[in-house]
A = this chain, B = another copy of it.
Amino acid sequence: MTRTLTQSMQDYVKVIYGLTRSGPASTNDIARKLSVSAASVTSMIKKLHELKLVRHTSYRGVALSHAGTMVALEILRHHRLLELYLNEALGYAWDEVHAEAEKLEHHISEEFEDRIAKVLGDPSYDPHGDPIPTKDGRMPPTVSERLADANINESVVIRRVSSHDASMLRMLTSHGLLLNTTLRVALRDADSGALVVQHGKRRITLDREITENIFIERL
């Protein structure tokens, strides 16, 4: 069913899904995410509305319909399965998978999706710890506690890094801060909110922007 949608429509639906975790998405936000003009967004929203993939009232923002949500989840499943496959089967690093998956997600068949899912053992999480929607559109639990909010002296495990910025991911890699790494919060800078964390013998300073994007399980 996704097959009849153009790549562009798929991209809009995916972005709208990401922007509507809390309330409707604005034209400008969508435009910014997709690097297109606001006028382009308005015109695409009109088309998606006619296809009943979104609900939209002029000047009032846009939200996905149930059908639209299913489309978004399917694309997200493709994306995350691809990321994991590139990582596990082809040896891509976690900072390299996003760009490739971003292109391929629109072009693989259901057959391909099913086969890589099977090879991977029907996984629930991608290389960044993001949940992979199931074939029937259910979303596995998402780890949502931020390292930024951890307490001093608390030991935590990194379970998700919600950034596709390759340089941030490489920085974490260089400090040995991979998924499922255990660390302890040593200090918090009251002004900047930066944290100093203890990882084995190493002490690493992580600024607020980074700790906001690292999600953890408390031990």
Contacts and interface: CB of A to CB of B under 8 A. Distances in A.
Interface residues of A, number: 19
A100 B113 CA distance: 11
A116 B92 CA distance: 11
Contacts of A99: 109
Contacts of A164: none
Contacts of A92: 111, 115
A11 interface: no
A100 B89 contact: no
A91 B112 CA distance: 10
Contact of A109 (B89, B91, B100, B116): B100
B103 A91 contact: no
B111 A96 contact: yes
A116 B91 CA distance: 10
B104 A107 contact: yes
The 6 A-B pairs of least Cβ separation, nearest first, read A90-B115, A107-B107, A103-B107, A100-B109, A104-B107, A100-B112
Interface of A: 86, 89-92, 96, 99-100, 103-104, 106-109, 111-112, 115-116, 119
